[in-house]
Amino acid sequence: MPVAKISPSMLSCDFAFLAAEAKRMEKNGAEWLHLDVMDGHFVPNLTWGAPIIQAIRPHTEAYFAGGQMYTFHIEATEQPLALIKQIHEAGMQAGVAIKPKTSIDKVLSEVAENCDMILVMTVEPGFGGQSFMAECLPKVEALRRKYPNLDIEVDGGLSLETIDASADAGANVIVAGTGIFKAEKPDEVIATFKEKVNEAQKKFA
């Protein structure tokens, strides 16, 4: 049964204190950190690239969803299987993301069977602070029922108000930005997310 993995999105941290913010999230119970690499092509925004990720790496033992796992958008390539193979050969795990309007048919069968995680976007990629799109959750549930042991991630608008629906649909990897970084007690938010996800996963076992 997949376990809960709570991955605070570094897009919502104080950029002037990246190392300290990474340590703060780890101290508050996060085993993963989510690092959105945006280069102005797939989305118009710019965030950070390999040098910034490399600079943060020595300051935390958290798993980097962005460094140890390379997640690409299925819409950005015509050869997803070749890209998954390339990522694995580079020594990383491979994740595949789908936008809200993309059908899960794009990632079923060979893609899902060869990658390490499927990310179902619950907002349009490119900008933080968007509202959660609950209409994406049937994709999460369909994936979970077909692939009970696969890591399935949701990203976008996750908070204490939306975690129940996400967990019940079968997501076990939870990305949250403002919902964690701006919380008065991030440790309690992370602990609540974990508890709800782990409890919900039992029904899929």
**Residues belonging to the active site:** 36, 155
Q: Confirm or deny that 73 is annotated as ligand binding.
A: no
User: What span, in angstroms and rounded, lies between the C-alpha atoms of 123 and 131?
Assistant: 7
Q: Confirm or deny that 128 is annotated as ligand binding.
A: yes
Q: Confirm or deny that 177 is annotated as ligand binding.
A: yes
Q: Confirm or deny that 9 is annotated as ligand binding.
A: yes
Q: Encoding tokens for residue 171?
A: 């997501």
Query: Beta-carbon neighbour count of residue 191 at 10 Å?
Result: 15
Q: Confirm or deny that 116 is annotated as ligand binding.
A: no
Q: Confirm or deny that 39 is annotated as ligand binding.
A: no
Q: Encoding tokens for residue 129?
A: 């602070």
Query: Beta-carbon neighbour count of residue 36 at 10 Å?
Result: 21
Q: Is 81 helix (H, G, I), strand (E, B) or coil?
A: helix
Q: Which residues pair with 97 in a beta bridge?
A: 73, 119
Q: Confirm or deny that 129 is annotated as ligand binding.
A: yes
Q: Confirm or deny that 178 is annotated as ligand binding.
A: yes
Q: Nearest-CA neighbor of 37 among 49, 27, 19?
A: 49
Binding residues are 9, 34, 36, 126-129, 155, 157, 177-178
Binding residues for substrate are 9, 126-129, 157, 177-178
Binding residues for a divalent metal cation are 34, 36, 155
